[in-house]
Amino acid sequence: MVRFQFLPTRHGARIAEILLDTPGTLNAQNLAMVREIRTQLELWRDDASVVAVLMRGVGEKAFCAGGDIKALYYAMTEPGRITEADDFFAEEYALCRELHRYPKPVLAWGNGVVMGGGWGLLAGASHRVVTEISVLAMPEIGIGLFPDVGASDWLGRLKLNVGRMLFLTASRLNAADALAAGAADWALPATSFEVLLQGLDELPWTGHGQTDAAMLSQLLEALSSALPCPLPPAQWEPVQDLVAELVAGDDLLQITRRIAACQTDNVWITQAQKQMATGSPNSIVLSWTLAQRAQGMDYDAVVAMETLAARHSVRHGDFSEGVRARLIDRDNQPRWQDATVEEALARGVTRWFDAV
């Protein structure tokens, strides 16, 4: 479920709070939750008393781990329910698009797990905060999907092409790396949330989006200086130049072979190699293709492209098999349609872009 509440401020303005409240599934979203959030955002857009939006997850473990994948599995596999999966993806992507363009400041408290659709919410926020326990990832190749919620676009905007490494290998960024890569704007201690709320209460909100966004940035800058976050040791940043070399160029087959052949004792890279080796080759090829096509596209076109790819994925791809293997039967032995990236490339990608 998702809950909404208002945080009054001493100057009379209100901050609207979105609380993702499914801690048992790491605050994963379902279709009903997405629809409720979209409805509230539309109402708050025209409410002059609401000056900003705060998003957070209930509990100490996660902001949001993405979509309710088990619910999507049953929608894909039970007769007559496939359109539920279509609707979820279309509306989830629309929600992220709306966040990107929201006229009022949106602060995402990205504490804990931030994955899949959860990263989509964080990426759509104007003010992105992580804590020392934040973990960011787009692990979709492991379940036969692709990094979506606009990630075809915004992963490519991360520094030194690290986004490529993330979507090809399902690698993770910790808080230190998220800041270094440009995936987050500020880091605050996980215990500082009440201090943040006090600061939000004291701001002289004006009701003008740009002015309020600038004031919020100043507050977060001041808090991050006054309350240094105990960041974990960076994992990607120490090997960022090597990673940039591994993912350089426009030949996907060459890149995946280069990653697989890399001789290193760096744990972050060796974990990436393992995850790429067990991920869906179809998903790797599709993820690459979407990212390549997204270059130069406007955001609406990216959303439309991903929506179409999702419709194909729930019908013809490796998605249902990946979820079965990882989350339903838990045998961790998915039977992918293609055994290698080379085979998936040979089969081609045009089918993913035909009307469904």
Higher pLDDT, 182 or 354: 182
pLDDT of residue 305: 97
pLDDT of residue 349: 83
pLDDT of residue 353: 86
Q: HSE (CB half, 13 Å, CA atoms) of 91?
A: 18
In the structure, what pLDDT confidence band is assigned to residue 352 with cuts at 50, 70 and 90? Answer: confident
User: Are 138 and 115 in contact, with CB atoms under 8 Å apart?
Assistant: yes
In the structure, what pLDDT confidence band is assigned to residue 348 with cuts at 50, 70 and 90? Answer: confident
Distance separating alpha carbons of residues 288 and 276, to the nearest angstrom: 13
User: Are 326 and 278 in contact, with CB atoms under 8 Å apart?
Assistant: no
Q: What is the pTM of this model?
A: 0.97
- Please give the angle made by the CA atoms of 111, 114 and 120, to the nearest 5 degrees: 120
Tokens of 70: 């088990």
In the structure, what pLDDT confidence band is assigned to residue 139 with cuts at 50, 70 and 90? Answer: very high
In the structure, what pLDDT confidence band is assigned to residue 210 with cuts at 50, 70 and 90? Answer: very high
Distance separating alpha carbons of residues 118 and 23, to the nearest angstrom: 13
Domains: count for the chain: 1
pLDDT in tens, 293-304: 999 899 999 999
pLDDT of residue 184: 98
pLDDT of residue 317: 84
User: Are 184 and 175 in contact, with CB atoms under 8 Å apart?
Assistant: yes
Mean local confidence (pLDDT), 302-324? 95
pLDDT of residue 2: 98
Q: What is the CATH number of the domain that holds 339?
A: 3.90.226.10
Distance separating alpha carbons of residues 29 and 72, to the nearest angstrom: 11
In the structure, what pLDDT confidence band is assigned to residue 356 with cuts at 50, 70 and 90? Answer: confident
Strands 172-174 and 135-137: antiparallel
Alpha helices in the chain (DSSP H): 31-45, 69-77, 82-100, 117-124, 151-154, 162-169, 175-181, 193-202, 209-226, 240-246, 252-261, 267-278, 281-294, 299-316, 319-323, 341-347
Q: Which domain holds residue 211?
A: 2-353
pLDDT of residue 282: 96
Q: Facing residues of 351 across strands? A: none
pLDDT at residue 27 tops 90: yes
